[in-house]
Amino acid sequence: MGATLTRFPRLLSLALFLLAILASAGAAHATQQNPVTLDVRAGYDGNGQYHVGHWFPAVVVVANAGGDLRGSIEWRFPGDSEPAFRYDVDLPRGARKQVMLPVVTNSSSNLAVLRLLVNGNPLVSRNVRLFPIDINEIAVGVISSDPTLLNSLTSAQLVKGYTTVLSRLNLDLLPAEARLLEGLDVIVLHDLASATLSDGQRGALGHWVRLGGTLLVSGGPDAGRVAAGLADLLPVDLGGDLRANVPVDSIERLVGRRDLGNLLQGITANRISPRPGARAIDRSDLIIERDVGAGRVIFAAFDIAALRAWPGESDLWSLILAVEDRMQIGASFRVRGENLVRDTLQLGALSLPSPAILLLLIAIYITVIGPVNFLVLRRMRRVDLAWVTTPILVAIFLALTYGASFVLRGTRPQILQLALVQAFEGVPGGQSTAFVSVFSPQRRTYTLGFAPDALVSPGTFESFQFRSQPVNLSDSAATVSDLLIDVSSLRTLLVEQPVADVPAVQSQLIRDPQRLSGTLRNTSGETLRNAMIVVNDTAQTLGDVGAGASVEVSLSLGMHNAQTFPSQIGVPSDGLFNQQRVLASVFGNDRFAFGGSNAQGRQGLPERDAAYLLAWRDQQAIAVDVSGDGSIQQGVTLYLIRLK
């Protein structure tokens, strides 16, 4: 009995040792089975915050500790039958790759699923928590080391009737593509060393401003670091030293309250020299702004954190940061699922025969099958052959009808493109929003390829609905594969992409309350078709402006002797796209209002005081690669050039 008791601890120790070995072997086996790790930081802040209907970044980091792999990263929203985006990736042993995945959705999704697939099988999966900002909310992005800076803005109304949401931007995630910032209405830079931004990030920030964004830059002791990489955007030049104890009464006057001086006897402010076009918001030149394209850059010559304890902080920034409607073309059509091509494309292959032709064909068919067939057989004294000749005639008519349909719709697919390009006088390049449609005479699938910097919405416009369609991304291209199109049908993709080829113009314009006058010169090497100058909802048609030609501008801004844009503008209604309908669809109502298009709203441009040149070009704006030879590509581009 004693020996048995002596052996028991030894047996227990041996059993525990064997269990430990088995557990270690199991862990090692599990490690071998899962050699890949997948991490993601999504949204503007890296924690999933995004604006519904707008593009946002998702930075995916994938590492491989096992053998060589080749697979695809999938981003899927719950409830979708297919992933929205796929990214092809090579993962040799020991590789660690970072991928910037542009993402967009029209729904308020709180969750997404990220997976890595190898040979079609999921290897690793992650749930991504998301925090949507509704289309009826204003988004303010703040870059600061202070996690509580401008918290008072959550109670501000930068647009009357709309709540404000703060997004604490992650500097590492600031994208190098302006469209990934489009969902932010305001961006605030505070105690940031802007020189550390890449050229792409600075370029994206500048282009975002030109497209209508509002940028607030904080000054004070850190102003030199903040302004170092933003010299081309700021409304001021900084002096070398600071001013101490600057009175705050000019800020109090802006808000209409007298309690800031009780908290601050004075503030430390930068010495500044306003640049041409800059204007002071307050009487002491503490807050300066300047228009940059369709947007604004505001410089506060003091550390904006100094106002944190002031009850009037929210009122001050509500007044200064009040935002206006922006011409966000892609988001406007995507959120509402509106198909600009549906009502403007004039493709003969899509048109049904007229009722008169159909009635004529039916009459001929009945006449041939009936009286003609009977009379011929009776003359031949072989009426009994009617049971043979009738089906033969029916077959002949069917063959002729089928052949005629081939003649009408053709045998080759057609790629049709309608692009709207936003550009600015004196700034090279522009931003294209292109509707790319595929017409197929037969039922078949296609693969469409675009440039790697193209943002392709993961769906197609069909009739009055938006149908999901996965987008495949890689370092070399963005593609839409297996796009199934039915017989004589049309499917349309929405593609947003920077373009370099934009007609150059020079304007010398003078504006008073009643008239815009001066000259406009076409300095490009091509003719600007059906050009017009547009301000607010008034326009002056210029006709075709040849290469190197100058035209006189004399646009009445009053109610008299002015053409109402776009309803009274006479532009061609023939051609591939009906230009009048295009203008009416885009500018015939308050399409770019906050919270979504207002069908009963005012017509015209969203910028009420800006002057634009609108001109057409019978050519595609972006390149499209189509699977299969023999496809026909044609397109029309409308340039929206904001003049100085």
Residue 334 lies in a domain: no
Q: What is the mean pLDDT of residues 143-147?
A: 92
pLDDT category at 203 given cuts 50, 70, 90 is: very high
pLDDT band with cut points at 50, 70 and 90 for residue 108: very high
Residue 395 to residues 16, 391, 497, Cα–Cα distance (Å)? 86, 6, 50
- Does 610 lie in the same domain as 474? yes
What pTM was estimated for this model as a whole? 0.86
Question: Are residues 112 and 243 both part of a single domain?
Answer: no
Q: Which residue shows structure tokens 């581009």?
A: 637
Query: In DSSP terms, which residues pair with 505 in a beta bridge?
Result: 522
Rounded to an integer, the average pLDDT of 444-454 is: 93
Nearest to 209 by CA among 237, 182, 170: 182
Does one domain contain both 102 and 57? yes
Last residue of a domain, one of 100, 132, 164: 132
Q: What is the pLDDT of residue 6?
A: 45
Does some domain include residue 590? yes
What's the pLDDT score for residue 22?
46
Helix, strand, coil shares, percent, the chain, to 5: 25, 40, 35
What is the predicted pLDDT for the residue at 8? 42
Residues 151 and 126 in one domain: no
* Same structural domain, 182 and 113: no
- Rounded Cα–Cα distance for residues 376 and 397 (Å): 18
Give the C-alpha separation, 41 to 47, whole Å: 6
Angle at 388 between CA 382 and CA 393, to 5 degrees: 110
Its domain, for residue 492, covers 341-349+407-644
553, part of any domain:
yes
Determine the Cα–Cα distance for residues 219 and 232; give it in Å rounded to an integer.
Answer: 16
290 & 393 share domain: no
Q: Specify whether 523 is located in the same domain as 533.
A: yes
Domain identity same for 412 and 472: yes
Domain contains 25: no
11 within domain boundaries: no
Q: What is the pLDDT of residue 403?
A: 67
The structure tokens listed for 340 are: 């600009």
pLDDT at 443 over 90: no
Q: Which residue, 381, 406, 431, sits at the end of a domain?
A: 406
Could you count the other beta carbons within 10 Å of the beta carbon of residue 41? 18
The arithmetic mean of pLDDT across residues 96-107, rounded, is 93
Mean pLDDT of 414-437: 94
**Is the confidence at residue 27, as pLDDT, over 70?**
no
Across residues 273-294, what is the average pLDDT? Answer: 94
Token digits for 288? Answer: 């300066």
Mean pLDDT of 576-583: 91
Give the mean pLDDT of 198-226: 93
Greater confidence (560 vs 536) lies with 536
Q: Per mean pLDDT, which range of 21-30, 217-226, 437-446 is the poorest?
A: 21-30
Residues 293-315, mean pLDDT to the nearest whole number: 94
pLDDT of residue 217: 95
> DSSP secondary structure string, 194-213?
GGGS-HHHHHHHHHHHHTT-
> Sorting pLDDT into bands at 50, 70 and 90, what band is 21?
very low
Task: Specify if 281 maps to a domain.
Answer: yes
* CATH number of residue 273's parent domain: 3.40.50.880
d(CA 468, CA 476): 23
In order of 151, 208, 219, 431, 595, the CA distances from 422 in angstroms are 34, 12, 32, 5, 22
pLDDT surpasses 50 at 12: no
Instruction: Render 96-139 in DSSP notation, one character per residue.
Output: EEEEEEEE--SS--SEEEEEEEETTEEEEEEEEE-EEEPTTEEE
Residue that wins the pLDDT comparison between 537 and 568: 537
pLDDT at 492 over 80: yes
What pLDDT does residue 3 have? 44
Do 205 and 236 belong to one domain?
Answer: yes
What confidence score (pLDDT) does residue 24 get? 47
270: DSSP letter: E
What is the model's pLDDT at position 316? 95
Residue 580 inside a domain? The answer is yes
Local confidence band at 559 (pLDDT 50, 70, 90 cut-offs) = low
Q: How far is CA 110 from the centre of its chain?
A: 21
pLDDT score of 504 more than 80:
yes
Question: What does the DSSP 8-state code read for residue 448?
Answer: E
Which pLDDT band, with edges at 50, 70 and 90, does 262 fall under? confident
pLDDT, position 521 = 96
458 and 587 together in one domain: yes
What's the one-letter identity of residue 310?
W
Domain count, the chain: 4
pLDDT at 29: 40
- What lies within 8 Å, CB to CB, of 269 at 6+ separation is 219, 220, 242, 243, 246, 286, 301, 302
Note whether 194 and 45 are same-domain residues: no
| 368-407 pLDDT, tens digit each | 777 877 787 777 877 777 788 888 888 887 877 766 666 5
- Closest residue by Cα to residue 615 from 569, 574, 567: 569
Q: Is 520 within the bounds of a domain?
A: yes
- What is the phi/psi pair of residue 507, to 5°? -125, 145
pLDDT tens for each residue of 70-85? 989 999 998 888 899 9
Look up residue 256 and give its DSSP letter. T
Check pLDDT > 90 for residue 507: yes
Last residue of a domain, one of 132, 161, 192: 132
Which tokens is 451 given? 């440039």
pLDDT higher than threshold 60 for residue 4: no
Is the pLDDT at 39 greater than 90? The verdict is yes
Q: Which CATH number is 57's domain given?
A: 2.60.40.10
DSSP string, 545-575: E-TT-EEEEEEE-SSSS-EETTTT------S
Using DSSP's 3-state secondary structure scheme, residue 341 falls into coil
pLDDT at 321 over 70: yes
pLDDT given at position 187: 97
φ/ψ bin of 281: left (φ > 0), alpha (ψ from -120 to 50), beta (otherwise): alpha
Mean pLDDT of the chain: 86
Q: What is the pLDDT of residue 193?
A: 85
Place of tokens 């503008």: 569
Q: CB within 8 A of 477, min separation 6: which ones?
A: 449, 450, 451, 452, 625
| pLDDT tier for residue 465 given thresholds of 50, 70 and 90 | confident
DSSP string, 26-69: HHHHHHHH--EEEEEEESSSSBSEEETTS-EEEEEEEEE-SS-E
79 and 99 housed in the same domain = yes
Could you count the other beta carbons within 10 Å of the beta carbon of residue 589? 17
